[in-house]
Amino acid sequence: MRPFVFVNLAMSADGKLSTRERRQVKISGREDFARVDRIKAGSDAVMVGIGTVLADNPSLTVKSSELKAMRVQTGALENPVRIVIDSRARTPPDADILHKGPGRRIIAVSRQAPEERISRLAPFAEVRVFGDEKVDMSALLAFLHTEGVRRVMVEGGGTLIWSLFAEDLVDEFITFVGNMVIGGASAPTPADGSGFALEREFTRLKLAGMRQCDDGVLLTWTVEREG
Ligand X SMILES: NC(=O)c1ccc[n+]([C@@H]2O[C@H](COP(=O)([O-])OP(=O)(O)OC[C@H]3O[C@@H](n4cnc5c(N)ncnc54)[C@H](OP(=O)(O)O)[C@@H]3O)[C@@H](O)[C@H]2O)c1
Binding mask 57-96 for ligand X (x = CB under 6 A): ----------------------------xxxx-x------
My answer on whether omega of the bond before 157 falls inside 30° of 0, hence cis, is: yes
Taking CB under 6 A as the rule, does residue 145 contact ligand X?
no
In angstroms, the CA 99 to CA 42 distance is: 22
Taking CB under 6 A as the rule, does residue 32 contact ligand X?
no
In angstroms, the CA 93 to CA 95 distance is: 6
Closest by CA position to 149, among listed 177, 126, 121, 179? 126
Min. distance of Cβ 202 from ligand X in angstroms? 19
Binding mask 170-199 for ligand X (x = CB under 6 A): ------------------x---x-------
Strands 216-223 and 4-11: unpaired
Min. distance of Cβ 74 from ligand X in angstroms? 27
In 42-177, which ranges are continuous DSSP H helix?
50-56, 65-73, 96-99, 115-121, 137-146, 158-166
| CB nearer ligand X, residue 14 or residue 66 | 14
Interface contacts to ligand X, rule CB under 6 A: 9-11, 17-18, 22, 24, 27, 48-52, 55-56, 85-88, 90, 134-135, 137, 155-160, 163, 188, 192
